[in-house]
Amino acid sequence: MSLRICIGGATGWTGKALVAGVIAAADLSLSGAVARKSAGQDAGLLAGQDSLGLAVAASVEAALKAEPTDVYIDYTHPSAVKANVLKALDLGVPAVIGTSGLAAADYDEIANVADRQGLGVVASGNFSITASLLTRFSLLAAQHVPDYEIIDYAKATKPDVPSGTARELAERMGAIQKSIPGHPIDQIIGPRETRGADIGGGRVHAVRLPSYVLAVETIFGKDGERLTIRHDAGTSAGPYVAGTLLAARRVVALKGLVRGLDNLLFGPLPA
């Protein structure tokens, strides 16, 4: 029996690619699609595929109540994702979160509900396999080099700052050891904003310009040496599909929140 997948944000850039990925996978089937502005239209046709005879729903609740579903995947707007995932958990459906923009407190709430329901949630600011390697390498480096900063690049019109990739990375690196500026921020001369933002203990600088899709760079400094780790995304949503569907296949066997594709792939960081 195939794993039944409902996709929130099914008409978006990644959502369309996910619909196509689910259709192409022998072990998956599309049980629902959510996109408020396209409600009632055929989910397959909207994704550039053949007609599926499956109407897009206006809400997660409507989609999950219409057809039995094993996993809900969310690639909607940052303002909607938490409510969507909490609704899926309330209805007994585990979730995969690909939407960026959630804060640590949001994930804490989702984790509490997932634990209470005995369901799994996998959340990652970036489901690209190579981006997960950036995360894992950066976390390993943060265990040994305390002086670091993060640069977050994205397109000029991206509404959330920093990106989900950079936010998740900053919070997780900050949990290992906080990025403490060499000169205290409250003592600098000039606008304090130019030194970036403290995101969960990690210091992040966000750049928003045309021609960027998404890039994240971690810079580590020691006396006489530097280490730079960088990931650049291309213009295709393909890299995110593989990681997202991998998470969907595994989340049904989990209980509680796993944050970061690297944790799903490689397990906890070594002490």
123 and 7 fall within a common domain: yes
Q: How far apart are CA 221 and CA 224, in angstroms?
A: 8
209: its two tokens: 């310009």
Which phi and psi angles does 156 have, rounded to 5°?
-60, -30
Would you state the pLDDT for residue 164?
Answer: 84
Would you state the pLDDT for residue 210?
Answer: 96
153 and 227 fall within a common domain: yes
121 within a domain of the structure (yes/no): yes
Q: Tell me the CB-side half-sphere exposure of residue 2, using CA atoms within 13 A.
A: 14
37 within a domain of the structure (yes/no): yes
118 and 194 fall within a common domain: no
- Cβ(121)–Cβ(111) below 8 Å: yes
271 within a domain of the structure (yes/no): no
242 and 223 fall within a common domain: no
71 and 140 fall within a common domain: no
Would you state the pLDDT for residue 78?
Answer: 87
11 and 109 fall within a common domain: yes
Would you state the pLDDT for residue 102?
Answer: 84
119 and 160 fall within a common domain: no
147 within a domain of the structure (yes/no): yes
**Number of domains forming the structure of the chain:** 2
113 and 86 fall within a common domain: yes
Would you state the pLDDT for residue 232?
Answer: 94
**Start-to-end CA span in the chain (Å):** 40
Quickly state the pLDDT bin for 50 (edges 50, 70, 90): very high
- Alpha carbon of 59 to those of 43, 75, 113: distances in Å? 14, 13, 20
CATH code (residue 254): 3.40.50.720
Question: In this predicted model, what pLDDT tens digit does every residue of 117-144 receive, in sequence order?
Answer: 999 999 998 899 999 999 999 999 999 9
50 and 23 fall within a common domain: yes
Residue 36 structural domain:
3-127+236-266
199 and 217 fall within a common domain: yes
